[in-house]
């Protein structure tokens, strides 16, 4: 019995005596000709060329012309369209409103999503149902989300005013007051993007090793201290990613909400209080038919997005800690 445990079997000895076979060399898939890769990429490149590259080039060309969509005449003006935009008080007000709107939406959106994702990550009964309900708003299109908020805050038949009137005797005119209308659009945009942010934050929180949070608890950290000083720094890569995506989303995806809720109004100063850069482009291009000015605004928005990307990748990643 003892010898059978100590001495190796014949099969084991035979395997040990045989020399090990060299590992097979790794092979990589190689196309037989140079034309095949381009042939496979051709459908995608064709769609991009028709629906992305060609319209972009046409827009850049139109930005240096003064033209009208109805009349159809074109007059080369060079950088005059850009000079008029940058010196226009209306466009300056719209740019300032957009900056305030994007700042509020991104800040409130990330803070709310982080808190809700942290609560949703806890092991509670019905956690899957709660997570699904938190993610659900992102599945709605901006037009449907705007319609829901328009009904909820309708001054006459909306349930929000019904509750406020019953409890406090208040009947605010949400869409007539500039401050209330601006706040309403901000809250609608934050609510619309919550699901997207919660999905990524929830995945990042669930990937934080439990040993780290347990060590913080053993060292005497309170739940708030453990979250702020231990968990949150580990979420910095996800926060960096969501910061950029939320800025771009607030710039472009807010168009549907604004068009349904306020149509850029009410008027405050020289422009509508909820008229942002994207909606101003739409008004100049498809309501006032100033295609040259609209093309110049599109070019400025493109430069803005490029500048945001460069700034984020140039300076933002210095504050981001990536795992080894």
Q: For the chain, give every domain's residue range.
A: 87-319
* Nearest of 108, 116, 68 to residue 291 by alpha carbon: 68
| Assigned CATH topology for domain 87-319 | MetI-like fold (1.10.3720)
First to last CA, the chain: 49
- Residue 225's contacts (CB-CB under 8 Å, 6 or more residues apart) are 216
190 close to 108: Cβ distance less than 8 angstroms: yes
Structure tokens belonging to residue 36:
């095949």
Question: Helix, strand or coil for residue 65?
Answer: strand
| pTM, entire model | 0.84
Residuewise pLDDT in 10s, the chain (324 residues): 444 444 444 444 454 455 555 555 555 667 777 888 889 999 999 999 999 999 989 999 999 998 877 777 788 998 999 999 999 999 999 999 999 999 999 999 999 999 999 888 888 888 788 888 888 888 888 889 999 999 999 988 899 999 999 999 888 999 999 999 999 999 999 999 999 999 999 999 989 888 888 888 888 888 888 888 888 888 988 998 899 899 999 999 889 999 999 999 899 988 999 999 999 999 999 898 888 999 999 999 989 988 888 877 776 656 565 554
């Amino acid at each position: 019995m003892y010898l059978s445990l100590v001495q190796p079997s014949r099969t084991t000895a035979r395997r040990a005596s045989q020399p090990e076979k060299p590992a097979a060399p790794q092979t990589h898939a190689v196309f037989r000709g140079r034309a095949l890769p381009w042939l496979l990429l051709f459908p995608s490149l064709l769609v991009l060329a028709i629906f992305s590259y060609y319209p972009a080039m046409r827009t850049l060309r139109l930005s240096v012309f003064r033209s009208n969509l109805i009349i159809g005449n074109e007059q080369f003006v060079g950088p005059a369209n850009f000079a008029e935009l940058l010196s226009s008080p209306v466009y300056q007000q719209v740019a300032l409103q957009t900056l305030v709107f994007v700042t509020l939406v991104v800040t409130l959106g990330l803070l709310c999503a982080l808190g809700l994702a942290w609560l949703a990550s806890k092991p509670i009964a019905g956690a899957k149902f709660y997570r699904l309900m938190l993610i659900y708003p992102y599945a709605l299109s901006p037009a449907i989300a705007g319609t829901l908020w328009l009904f909820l805050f309708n001054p006459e038949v909306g349930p929000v005013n019904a509750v406020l009137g019953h409890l406090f005797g208040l009947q605010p005119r949400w869409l007539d007051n500039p401050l209330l209308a601006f706040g309403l659009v901000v809250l609608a945009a934050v609510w619309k993007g919550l699901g997207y942010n919660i999905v990524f934050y929830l995945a990042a929180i669930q990937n934080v090793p439990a040993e780290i949070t347990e060590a913080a608890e053993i060292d005497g950290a309170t739940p708030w201290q453990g979250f702020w000083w231990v968990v949150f720094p580990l979420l910095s890569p996800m926060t960096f990613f969501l910061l950029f995506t939320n800025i771009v989303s607030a710039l472009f995806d807010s168009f549907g909400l604004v068009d349904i809720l306020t149509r850029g109004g009410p008027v405050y100063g020289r422009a509508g209080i909820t008229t942002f850069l994207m909606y101003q482009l739409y008004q100049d291009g498809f309501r006032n038919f100033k295609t040259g000015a609209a093309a110049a605004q599109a070019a400025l928005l493109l430069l803005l997005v490029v500048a945001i990307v460069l700034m984020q990748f140039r300076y933002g990643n210095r504050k981001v800690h990536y795992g080894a």
